Amino acid sequence: MHVVFVSNTTGKSSGRVNAVLDAYATRIGQNTWATPITEDGLEEVKKHIKRKVSRHVSVACYRNKGVYGMELLWIVGNKNMYDHHGYYAPETRSRGLQMPMAYRHAALVAGLSGYCHDIGKANGQFRGKLKLSVEGKASQENQSDPVRHEWISAWILQQFALQSDKDLPDVMSEWNKDRLSRILKEDWKPVNSIQTALDAALMIVATHHKAFGCESNGIEVLRRIESKIDKKPHVSITKEEAARLKDREGIAVIEIPERERDAWREHGMRIRKILSRLPSIREDDADYWHGISFIARAAMVLADHDVSSSAAPDKDQDAEALYANTCKDGNQRKFGQRLVEHLVAVGDAAKKNVLWFANPQLPVLGTETISKIMTDAQDERYAWQDRAAKVMPDVPALVFNVASTGAGKTRANVKMACALRKGIGVRISAAFNLRTLTLQTHDAYCQELGLDQKTECAGLVGDPIIVDLHESLKDDDHEQKEMEYLIEGYNEIDMNQVPEWLRGECRRNRSRPLLKMLLSPVLVSTIDFLNAAGDMTEGNANYAYALIRLAHSDLILDELDSYDAESVMAVLRLVHVAGVFGRNVIVSSATLSETLAGYVRRAWLSGYKAYQKMFMNAPSPRIALVSDKVKPRLIDADDEGFGNIYAGFVESIAGNTGTPTKLFTVSSQINDTDGFFNAILDSARLLHKKNKWDLDGIEVSVGLIRVANIDTCLKAASFFIENEEDVLVTTYHSREPLLRRAYKENLFDRILKRKDEKALRDHLRNELDKKGWRGKKRAIFIVVATPVEEVGRDHDFDWAVIEPSSAHSIVQTAGRVNRHRMKEATDANIIVLDRCIRDVEGKAKDGRVFIMPGREIVIDEIRKTTSHPEHQASLLLETKPCKVRPLSISMMFGNGRVHFAKYDERAISRLMDKTVSHYIENNSAAEWFSQWFGRAWPLREHDETAAFAVLENGNGKIRLYQNVFENKNEKWKLIREFRYTDTHKAWASPSLNDVREWAKGVIDKTRDEREYYSFELPSYLWKQKENLTLDWRGICFENIQ
């Protein structure tokens, strides 16, 4: 290609930049170069210029497209003088930022909240805490507050707004009378709903540290309680305890020192000035104030965080004055900011922080990258991606991508995200349920889509060891790359692209991972991080940063139906918040049901309704339906016929499945536990016979046994070893030492993609040679796996046996069979077990068997009726045992939809409909800012876990350690020693010594080696740790055989 370089570099940097360009191109002007060049050569030029980039460097590169003109490829350095087309402004003129009215109102509410947020600290209890802290006695005394300062602050703000004839010190002193007893007696709350600007400010003041509380009685009880907003944890004193108090000073607002009263009166006038403006602003407009509340709360929370963290000791150190905090001065703690000064500083900063939402100026994907992404697919199988991208509307949109498994949804999602923005200002947040899938997708974005890993794409997961292992294992030579805690990629931060409001954060090394997360044009993360934007049980700083990320990037959600039914509500909260900021949302799943799609639409539309109220010229949104099987379709988002339209769309997909590549049958009837495991064995033998292939004269097949939980996985693996001579078995589940699981995943990814059979054949041949298999006629290679295999694993098995949990899990597991070879199936390659183990064992006390995983719910507790009246697969799948039928997406959609899919949808509908109607779609609901919403509908079950590790001791035994805290220090405590148990019938099941040898180039020797062999157990298993062991199947208990 022919390119032109234009340099507007100034100062000393111009000499270096000119020298680089002179080395690669011919000058055609004072600051212009031209040359034919390859893509690799152009990348090298770019890399050399970026080596010492500064605000003085500015180099633009254009590609000559002949009659189509010049196309901007990239700009290195200062971009301020260019627009997105690459046109250069010879001179500029600055003018004040004209903020939309919604942001001005958000600044008012944020400022008012900041001015009032800590007024409640002017009480004896809090002043006493600060004195103890300065005296070094804080840890020796009870530090709990009978009434937290946020609650008192909100009460004072409310009273000050109601009593326009009184100054602030007088209203504050009213707390000294009988207001505590009134709060307790009347169960006072700052707000019950958010309808006005004052409601929003009261909510922010009351929740700036802790969201509204609620009683904690377990998830099922939480969902049924009447009061979703409780005074706990803000009020921890009862009416009886308050009546017995002799000294009221501990919970009463003290008299303001006379020498400070003028400052407090002045501060009251500052607050009153804002209050006087509020009645004229959009009274009783819940949608409007819902959106404002998200912005203003985040702005105030971050202002409080920033002002408090930068506090310096007060020069007077007056023990009788009112202070907001203490801070360190050397080794001594001293009084920090005066309280009124702190309030003013936070209020002023909160107003400015609204700019973080109004004018972010964050980095976006470059023109060159967009061009690569939007290049038409060369393979006809992926041409549907281009058709989908071309129909994307130029208004905010909700996109449902229901393309088939293996059709290239990953690339299509990014293409559509770019098309929705017309290639301008593209920022993406892609959220995933599994961390392994997150890292795989990050790799795919960088390697297949051409995103620059250093400057355009960051991967966020929760465990630095996981990231370390993944990054090290990507290349055969174990090349180590620069890594940082939590974040993979985006290692080069161009200060020219950092907006002014983030410059301060750049100087704090502790904030570097956070900066990467905010700045990166594309963020690929586990959904747990972004979840904080809608879950108020998360820390407030997490909420604010996640909200900023979500507000300035379009959202891609992968495999929504892979979440448990309860977790889906958390995802809907996120979709709603994306709607509040007018962002595009792309939901990607081959098996997304009409019910779930409907809830996603309702969540996004209710959020977008707030966006439309905030920005009156916001366009009407649209919905796009895309698939690889049928033409894409666009509809109005508010079309009441959406349900029927979506159902018709997926039904047309179901009717266009083409040549069957997967045929299934249901096993014969299962009556007891022995029958369950015998059915798995018989099914495996039958499927091997039907799907075997030749390897050096031996009949070979590689099969998957999918079971619902780890204990069943371990038992099934042992059962095969004991009852079948010609079998080689391994397990795949989450209860494995990290490095051992990484070994298995790396091996499976390498040999089971099967786009090239050589890797698989070579590995199996080597396994058979090691086992002395010569002379035998057959070898059945089996992977017994839990649902970790269902989603995101790009594996291709010859056959599968599936324990039923849900219609979705059957279809997803089937997607791992004949995945890439796509050979026409002439006989069964999948068998679904007639019953699940929970049903066979009769342990379902409430009647539910399809749970953990599964979607079955209780309908009637007394009669023990559930959403799934049948539990036999033959009835659920509407077939007969041993009858061979095609298995495709058609069992989820249209006329072919089976009972199992219908029952799953019914369960989701009964579980979620009321909450979606009352809270997700109710923009006045204060419950959005309560702990109840997150605790009743959590993204993950918050079961406490403990870390364990196993390590060989050098003399043939394995030591088991538990990670504990003793005397405030973290340490690995030895629990027991045991010997590793192996079997000659295991494959892909390395000992710890084998793993250590394999991972020589991976382990970071500066870390404790036990971290690489660690695993987590939930609290209900801790008591069995004395029976914990490691054998060829993974971590297990000696009583599980």
Q: What is the distance between the alpha carbons of residues 203 and 1009, in angstroms, rounded to a whole number?
A: 48
Which value, in Å, is the radius of gyration of the alpha carbons in the chain?
31
Domain topology for 2-77: Alpha-Beta Plaits (3.30.70)
Q: Which residue in this structure is represented by tokens 């406490």?
A: 944
Among candidate residues 325, 432, 414, the one with its CA nearest the CA of residue 377: 414
What are the domain boundaries of the chain?
2-77, 101-358, 367-654, 663-908, 945-1037
Rounded to 5 degrees, what angle do the CA atoms 843, 849, 851 make? 115
Q: What is the DSSP letter of 735?
A: -
How many CA atoms, within 13 angstroms, populate the side-chain half-sphere of residue 107? Answer: 16
Contact between residue 64 and residue 1 where contact means Cβ atoms under 8 Å apart? yes
Q: What is the distance between the alpha carbons of residues 878 and 558, in angstroms, rounded to a whole number?
A: 29
Q: How many residues does the chain have?
A: 1041
Q: What average pLDDT values come out for the chain (1041 residues) when binned by 10 residues?
A: 94 92 95 94 92 87 89 88 85 77 96 96 83 75 73 93 91 77 73 94 93 70 66 72 56 78 95 93 91 95 88 84 87 90 96 89 88 90 94 97 88 97 94 84 86 85 56 44 43 62 57 76 90 78 87 95 85 97 96 94 97 94 96 94 94 85 95 97 98 96 97 97 96 95 93 90 95 91 95 90 96 92 92 97 89 90 89 95 91 90 93 89 90 86 84 89 86 94 95 91 83 90 88 87 55
Q: What is the distance between the alpha carbons of residues 935 and 941, in angstroms, rounded to a whole number?
A: 9
Q: In CATH, what is the architecture of 663-908?
A: 3-Layer(aba) Sandwich (3.40)
Class of residue 740 by CB neighbours under 10 A (exposed 0-12, middle 13-18, buried 19+): buried
How many CA atoms, within 13 angstroms, populate the side-chain half-sphere of residue 46? Answer: 20
Q: What is the distance between the alpha carbons of residues 794 and 748, in angstroms, rounded to a whole number?
A: 9
DSSP lists the bridge partners of residue 945 as: 1018
- Work out the number of other CB atoms within 10 angstroms of the CB of residue 313: 18
Q: Which residue in this structure is represented by tokens 């005066």?
A: 338
Q: What is the distance between the alpha carbons of residues 561 and 571, in angstroms, rounded to a whole number?
A: 10
Written as six digits, the tokens of 134 are 């300065």
Written as six digits, the tokens of 294 are 């998200």
Helices within 458-593 (DSSP H only): 464-473, 500-506, 512-519, 527-531, 540-551, 565-580
Written as six digits, the tokens of 225 are 């309680």
Contact between residue 621 and residue 396 where contact means Cβ atoms under 8 Å apart? yes
- 555: phi then psi, degrees, rounded to nearest 5: -110, 130
Q: What is the distance between the alpha carbons of residues 431 and 419, in angstroms, rounded to a whole number?
A: 19
What letter represents residue 473's amino acid?
L
- Work out the number of other CB atoms within 10 angstroms of the CB of residue 546: 26
Q: Which residue in this structure is represented by tokens 């001005």?
A: 104
- Peptide bond before residue 279 is cis, with ω within 30 degrees of 0: no
* Predicted pLDDT at 186: 65
* Predicted pLDDT at 240: 64
Q: What is the distance between the alpha carbons of residues 780 and 793, in angstroms, rounded to a whole number?
A: 21
Q: Which residue in this structure is represented by tokens 């290049």?
A: 375
Q: What is the distance between the alpha carbons of residues 290 and 871, in angstroms, rounded to a whole number?
A: 44
Q: Is the dihedral of CA 242, 245, 249, 250 positive or negative?
A: negative
Kindly give, in sequence order, each residue whose CB lies less than 8 Å from that of residue 367, ignoring residues fewer than 6 positions away: 71, 72, 73, 74, 84, 86, 423
pLDDT tens across 976-1028, in order? 999 999 999 999 999 999 999 998 877 778 888 999 999 999 888 888 888 99
Contact between residue 298 and residue 540 where contact means Cβ atoms under 8 Å apart? no
Rounded to an integer, what is the distance from CA 285 to the centroid of its chain? Answer: 31
Contact between residue 61 and residue 46 where contact means Cβ atoms under 8 Å apart? yes
Four-CA torsion 508, 513, 518, 519, nearest 10 degrees: 80
Among candidate residues 20, 80, 71, 23, the one with its CA nearest the CA of residue 50: 20
- Work out the number of other CB atoms within 10 angstroms of the CB of residue 277: 12
Helices within 339-408 (DSSP H only): 339-353, 355-358, 367-373, 383-390
Contact between residue 958 and residue 951 where contact means Cβ atoms under 8 Å apart? yes
- 273: phi then psi, degrees, rounded to nearest 5: -60, -40
Q: Are 367-654 and 663-908 the same fold in CATH? A: yes
* Predicted pLDDT at 481: 33
Written as six digits, the tokens of 352 are 């400015």
What letter represents residue 403's amino acid?
A
Q: Are strands 487-489 and 457-460 parallel, antiparallel or unpaired?
A: antiparallel
Q: What is the distance between the alpha carbons of residues 531 and 519, in angstroms, rounded to a whole number?
A: 18
Contact between residue 661 and residue 824 where contact means Cβ atoms under 8 Å apart? yes
Contact between residue 549 and residue 593 where contact means Cβ atoms under 8 Å apart? no
Q: Are strands 70-77 and 58-64 parallel, antiparallel or unpaired?
A: antiparallel
Rounded to 5 degrees, what angle do the CA atoms 442, 447, 448 make? 100
Q: What is the distance between the alpha carbons of residues 38 and 59, in angstroms, rounded to a whole number?
A: 18
What letter represents residue 174's amino acid?
E
* Predicted pLDDT at 589: 92
Q: What is the distance between the alpha carbons of residues 1014 and 1003, in angstroms, rounded to a whole number?
A: 13
Q: What is the distance between the alpha carbons of residues 798 and 828, in angstroms, rounded to a whole number?
A: 11
Kindly give, in sequence order, each residue whose CB lies less than 8 Å from that of residue 678, ignoring residues fewer than 6 positions away: none
Q: What is the distance between the alpha carbons of residues 718 and 511, in angstroms, rounded to a whole number?
A: 49
- Work out the number of other CB atoms within 10 angstroms of the CB of residue 515: 18
Q: What is the distance between the alpha carbons of residues 549 and 518, in angstroms, rounded to a whole number?
A: 6
3-state secondary structure of 619: coil
Q: Which helix (H) or strand (E) holds 965?
A: strand 957-966
Q: What is the DSSP string of 909-935?
A: HHHHHHHIIIIIS-TTBGGGGBHHHHH
CATH superfamily of the 367-654 domain: P-loop containing nucleotide triphosphate hydrolases (3.40.50.300)
Categorise residue 696: left if φ over 0, alpha if ψ from -120 to 50, beta otherwise.
left
How does 674-706 read in b/e, with b if 16+ C-beta sit within 10 Å?
Answer: ebbbbbbbebbebbbebbbeebeebbbbbbbbb
Q: What is the DSSP string of 772-805?
A: T-TT-SEEEEEEEE-GGGTSS----BSEEEE--S
DSSP lists the bridge partners of residue 523 as: 429, 458
DSSP lists the bridge partners of residue 962 as: 948, 973
* Predicted pLDDT at 986: 97
Q: Are strands 778-785 and 799-802 parallel, antiparallel or unpaired?
A: unpaired
Q: What is the distance between the alpha carbons of residues 310 and 331, in angstroms, rounded to a whole number?
A: 17
Rounded to 5 degrees, what angle do the CA atoms 300, 304, 307 make? 130
- 421: phi then psi, degrees, rounded to nearest 5: -100, 5
